[in-house]
Amino acid sequence: MKRILPLFIALVCVSCAGGYQALNRQADKEYLQPFRTDVPWNNFAKKFMYAPAFHFEPADGAASYLFTLTPEQGETVSFKASTPQAALSPVWDKLPEGNVSLTVDALDKQGKAIARVGERKFLKDFPFQGPYAGPACDYREAAIKGALYIHTMPEIQHWRTSDVPDMAYSHNTYPCKIIGATVRVECLIAKLLPERRENALEVARGAAKFLVDMSRPEGDPLAYFPPTYYLDKEASKRDWNKGKTMTLEAASAGQAFLDLYDVTGEKQWLERAVNIGRTYVKLQHSDGSLPIKVDFVTGEPVNEVSAMLHPLLRYFKRLEGYGYGEFTAPRAKGEQWMDKVAIKTFNMTGQFEDVNVKDLQLYQNLTNCTAAPYASYLLTKGSPSAEDLRNAADLIRLSEDQFAHWAYHEKTADGFYKRLAPCVHEQYHYEMPVDNSACNVANAWLDWYEETGDLLALAKAKAMIDNITRMQSPISGFTPTTWEWRDAAKNRNRTFWVNCSLSSVQILLRAADMQADFDKLPK
C-alpha cells in the first residue's frame, strides 16, 4: 500500500499541473531542504544538489554569521544566520550551477566581522530537469540481450567443460562476486529462455561447483565460505589481500546458490546457502556487527573496521523466506547495529574488495553502494516504520546529492561530454559513472515510489534506467560497466564486470514489469 508522507514529499498530479514542469518544480523545492545536518558527513564532499550545511566552529563573542557565496559565473549572494552551521537554503536557488566559493564570517553585535570561521569550495551540480531521453529499446529486450552477452562469452561457456575459471576474463579473480554473478545470470537465462536452459544450467552448475570446491571446509571458522580472492590477478595479488577475505562476499555466493536451487530444485544448493548463513550467525558479534575483512583460514579480523551489513540483512531475509526462522533474530541484531552505528554517524563508507579501507578517515570514501541498497532494504523489509522511512529518504538523498549526475558541466577539448549522463558515480575514490551504481539508486527510487507513490522518484528512476538502454550496444547487448568515452586503444580493454551487468539485467526486467507505472508519467 502506498503511503503519503508530507514530511518528505508533496505529490503532484502531473496530468493537471503542467507535466514535467510540475515534477521539476517539486525537485527544485526538495533541493532547498538540507538533510542530516546533525553530523559532518560532507567533510570530503565536492559537489551538492541539496542545500548543504557545514560544521564550522562558532567564534567567541559572535552575535551572528555572514555567509558569502561567490559563484564562478554570476553574482555574489549572502545571508546572515545565528549559527555557522546554518544550511545554505536561503540563497541556494539564487546560485547558478557551477563552482562556488563560500566564506563564513563571525559578526559582533554591531555587525562588524571579528573572525573568519569557515571556507569551502564546491560544485553546485545540475538538478533533475526532466524529461530525459527515453529508452533506446524495449526494457525486456535490453535485459535479454544483456544476459545473452554474458552467456555467450567464451569465458562463461568455459564452465561447461572445466572445473576452474578461464582467466582470460581476469575478473574471475573474484570468485564470490564474479563467479557467483555468473551462476545468477545463467539461472536467469534458464528461466527466461527455455531453449537455452540445458546449456545455461551446465554453466551454472560448473561455476557453482568451483565455488563449493574453493570453500572452507565444515568445522572451520569460515565454514562453507568461498574466497574473495583467487590467484594473482588484479587486487588479488596485492599483499594486503593475500590470504584474506571480505566477510560479506560469501553472501553473494549464497544468493547464487539460492538462485540455482530455485531453478533446479536441487537441495544441495539450498543446504549450501543455509550453511553459509549459519556461519554468519556464528561470526556475528554480540552487538550485531561483523568485521569487514578476515583471515580466510583463521577467521581473525585483520583490522578494526566493521562491515556495512546490507548484503547480509538481505541474505538473512531471503533465507527466512525458505522457512528458516533461525535467521530472524540475527537479522534484527544486524539492523540494530546499522541503526546505532552506520545510520547514527551517517558514514556510508565504501567497502570494495579492491580498495583498502584501513586508516580511512570518517566520511573519506562515501558511496551510493552502501547508502542506496540499505535504503532499499529498509523500504522492502516489510512494514517500514516512520523512522525507517526517514532514514531511507536521507540515504536516497545522499546517493543523489553526492553521486548522481543529471548533466555535466565541462566538455572535452573535442567539444563533447566525456562522461554520459544521467548517471551515478560509484564512490569518492572512484569518481566514475558505473552501471551498477545507476541500478542501486534507481532501485531505491523505485522502492520509494512503490512505498509512497512519489512520481518524482519514479521519474528519476526511469531516467537512469533509460540511459542503461542507451549505453548498451544494440548489436551485441554489451552493457559497459563504466560510461565514459575512451579512445580506440583503451576502449578495446573497456572495463566489464559481470556482476555489474547482472544488476543492469535485473533492473531492466524490473522496469519491464513496471511499464504501467511508467505510463503514469507525462510524455
Report pLDDT digits (tens) over 133-163: 999 999 999 999 999 999 999 999 999 999 9
pLDDT for position 10: 37
Domain 139-518 - what CATH class? Answer: mainly alpha
Q: Report pLDDT digits (tens) over 189-239.
A: 999 999 999 999 999 999 999 999 999 999 999 999 999 999 999 989 999
Q: How confident is the model at residue 6 (pLDDT cuts 50, 70, 90)?
A: very low
Query: CA 306 to CA 392: how far, in whole Å?
Result: 21
pLDDT for position 17: 43
Q: How confident is the model at residue 503 (pLDDT cuts 50, 70, 90)?
A: very high
Residue 461 in this model has a pLDDT that exceeds 70: yes
Q: Report pLDDT digits (tens) over 76-89.
A: 999 999 999 999 99
Instruction: Give, rounded to a whole angstrom, the gap between the first and last alpha carbons of the chain.
Output: 26
What average pLDDT does range 5-15 have in this prediction? 39
Percentage of the chain with pLDDT > 70?
97
pLDDT for position 356: 78
DSSP for residue 1 = -
pLDDT for position 13: 41
Q: Report pLDDT digits (tens) over 334-356.
A: 999 999 999 999 999 988 888 77
pLDDT for position 495: 85
pLDDT for position 354: 80
Q: Are 79 and 69 in contact (CB under 8 A)?
A: no
Instruction: Output 421 or 19, whichever has higher pLDDT.
Output: 421
Hey, how many other C-beta atoms are within 10 angstroms of the C-beta on 93? 12
Q: Are 329 and 314 in contact (CB under 8 A)?
A: no
Domain boundaries, the chain: 50-124, 139-518
Inter-axis angle of helices 498-513 and 455-471, nearest 10:
130
What average pLDDT does range 15-26 have in this prediction? 79
pLDDT for position 2: 55
pLDDT for position 12: 37
Q: Are 426 and 367 in contact (CB under 8 A)?
A: yes
Residue 262 in this model has a pLDDT that exceeds 70: yes
Residue 1 in this model has a pLDDT that exceeds 80: no
Residue 131, preceding bond cis, omega within 30 degrees? yes
Comparing C-alpha atoms, which of 190, 188, 227 is closest to residue 210? 227
Residue 33 in this model has a pLDDT that exceeds 80: yes
Q: For all residues of the chain together, what is the average pLDDT?
A: 95
- What are the angstrom distances between the C-alpha of 160 and each of 147, 155, 264? 17, 10, 17
Q: What are phi and psi of 419, to 5 degrees?
A: -110, 150
Within 8 A by CB and 6+ apart from 285, the residues are none
Residue 15 in this model has a pLDDT that exceeds 70: no
Q: Are 100 and 121 in contact (CB under 8 A)?
A: yes
Query: CA 256 to CA 207: how far, in whole Å?
Result: 10
pLDDT for position 87: 98
pLDDT for position 18: 62
Q: Which region among 265-269, 357-361, 492-496 has the lowest average model confidence (pLDDT)?
A: 357-361
Q: How confident is the model at residue 11 (pLDDT cuts 50, 70, 90)?
A: very low
Instruction: Output 66 or 5, whichever has higher pLDDT.
Output: 66
pLDDT for position 353: 84
Residue 422, preceding bond cis, omega within 30 degrees? yes
Q: How confident is the model at residue 116 (pLDDT cuts 50, 70, 90)?
A: very high
Q: How confident is the model at residue 493 (pLDDT cuts 50, 70, 90)?
A: confident
Which CATH architecture does the domain made up of 50-124 adopt?
Sandwich (2.60)
